[in-house]
Structure 1
Amino acid sequence: MSQVIARTRIQDIDALRGFALLGILIVNITFAASGFPIHLAQDPAYDSWLDHTVHWLSSALVDMKFYLLFSFLFGYSFQLQMEAAQRAGAAFRPRMLRRLGGLFVLGALHGVFLITGDILSVYAIIGLVLLAMRRVSDRTALTVAAGIYAYLFVTLGAASLFVDTTQFMDPTTALAAAQETTANLAGSFSDVIGEHVRALPTYGLSLLTVQGPTTLAAFLIGMVVGRRRLLKNLSGNEAVLRLLQLIGFTVGIAGGAYYASAGGNSNTCAVLISVLTAPFLSAAYGATLLRLMHTDRGGDVRRLLVPAGRMALSNYLGQSVATMLLFTGVGFGLVGQVSPLETLGLAVGIFVLQVLLSHVWLSSFHYGPVEGALRAVTNWTAPRWRAQAA
């Protein structure tokens, strides 16, 4: 019985991770489908009410939410891996350093060759901080996480009050830059790589100011939740899950609506509100899925998502391969030719295909293709995908 409960607990985490992959793809695909988002410009070719509605809904309900859920799960899994190493009598620090090194290499290659921006290299760098803090008390970890959000409240709040960001955002210049980026993405492989490299400073600024700090906060919260076994033996009827839904959806949707209506990333105050409220909506999404998966019919949802979550790294990289082939000149060259609604439909289609392929792959192999390679680096052993259980 205990083995069944433990397996269900692990499947809950894998299913949450699989669900987070969909949200991440919905955000990332917009940067592959057009050169306009990275320059915070509106594509004049898609200016209808439907285009604006899709963009608004994505900004309100998806942007800046799902990487937090993914980061929380990274921190949670970090704690599980540390406990597994202790049970096996293995040295955790060198194993994790090798794992983070592997992630960094994958992330660097990913961000240069496949897509604008990357989260794996960020995880690797911030993972070093998490590794250094692995023995801090729960109180210290949560205090640091709260301090990060306090820091962002002060810095982004001061920027919104005292810095005129409009002087850095000339619409004509942004439009020209967006058109140039779109043309480069439609070009040769070297043109695409050049565009990815040119975007690194812009992406790096976002990481330093917002995404990096909030990722660390989510790591720490996930680690504490893992320590306290708060996701263990869930029934789906816990009052805390209902509370997370009530507060999370109320605060998160209100904040997301303001963020979307106020101009998104082009408005510092809107970014501040999103940073402060996005964790609530992320928590509400997670709580809703956990409650759903513990209903009679919701078990099917868990079984559907688990393989995608078990192969999250392979699927994350696979999403970038798919979008590169669809949108850049390396493949079909659809960049700038797909509406927001069509882009959303493609994201859902890619994810559905990945779910199906994940089921097929794991019917023969114990690990995803990239997971097996990273596991070999972590354990310093020969790559092995087919386990005895396969």
Structure 2
Amino acid sequence: MHVSDRPDSPAAREVLWRFAPMIYGPTVLFALGEGAILPLIPVIAAQLGADIATAALVASALVVGQLCGNIPAGWAVARMGERLTMTAAGILSLGGVVALAFAPSLGVLAASVFLIGFCAAAFGLARHSFMTTRVPLAFRARALSLLGGTFRLGMFVGPFVAAGLLALFGDEHAAVWFFGVCLVATILLVLFGPDPEAAIAPPAPRATRTDDPEAVEDTGEPITASLRAAPTVDGRRAGVFRTMRHFRGVLARLGLAAASLAAVRSARQVVLPLWGVSIGLDAQTIALVVGISGAIDFALFYASGQVMDRFGRLWAALPAMLLMGTGFIALAFTHDTPQNAMWFAMFSAVLGVGNGLSSGILLTLGADVAPKDDPAPFLGSWRTLTDAGGAVAPLLVSAIAAVSTLSIATGAIGAIGLLGAGAFVRWVPRFIPRVRG
């Protein structure tokens, strides 16, 4: 019997606490180390002789690695399991950290950053798959929002740790070795920490099977994708690419809506600092405004999960997209106004609220529509789509601003947000049941 179906089912907090040693703790550690080195990658590249453009290219290798790592990670999780995949990703990341610390050239540095991004994708997908198959549906959104929140916590605190290490040792490589220590602790937790499966049995697969292959083909009709079986060939897993084809309707509809949310989120991190520079604010003021926006975002991560579990996924996704879409569009009209600094601060806060309300949505939607008996190949495709949306958005802002103005680029991101809101309204009710805790 599924744990959430028993009358004596443990409270959500008690169950979620059991995931701390293997899931939430390692997530904080991995993100803390990654957040510590992110601001320093361009600095280390510059020390090796890179100009501004080359340093940016080296830093972007992390995102490229994440994009390239999702689909192979789905293959690895399907065959090795979540625990071994997380362990392997941690060990390979540790190798990347050592190579990064001793990189003699820009090529080795870029390869090291790429490897870390690749392993981060594998680590993230393994966690996502584990939570998808283990967490009771009644509080899945809260569990995954907490997962997103722990990652945000690590990425938020990491740069401050790096700043402290720089002040203490005066060497950027201290943050790199700090990441290495975090990875060792992560590997040990994953390998030797208490296994949640010992306390919570995974829910029984709800897949419906049929001998007619057309009966389970994804046509885009009103269905719940999570109730359908993953495709098999001769009784064996069909693999990542056959799974992508099998669920192409979900990926092309709800997946693109999710990618639009990832794009708007990513654009926020680029547009706000650029906007502050464009209206003439000093670096300290920009950092303060962006920091307050980030604090609002972080403060709301668990509220997003509660809303999704109690009222349904759309009740978090739609307000988040509407707030961010209209926030970007409204900000676009304030550039040349006398109170542009005030409007900048206000709409930064609005975007922080919208982003906070979206915490865990992409993880939760992916878990909802993934096949329950073998989610990893599907989640690899899902995360590739969302990561691609996040990677394309900064390039889009840069391209539009280069040929027109930053205001038009900001308005374009807002339009993507509103289109994404419409896509969520259209496709969430079709593919995902109304879930209430």
TM over 0.5: no
Ranked by relative contact order (alpha carbons within 8 Å, sequence separation 6 or more), the top structure is 1
TM superposition score normalised by structure 2: 0.33
TM superposition score normalised by structure 1: 0.36
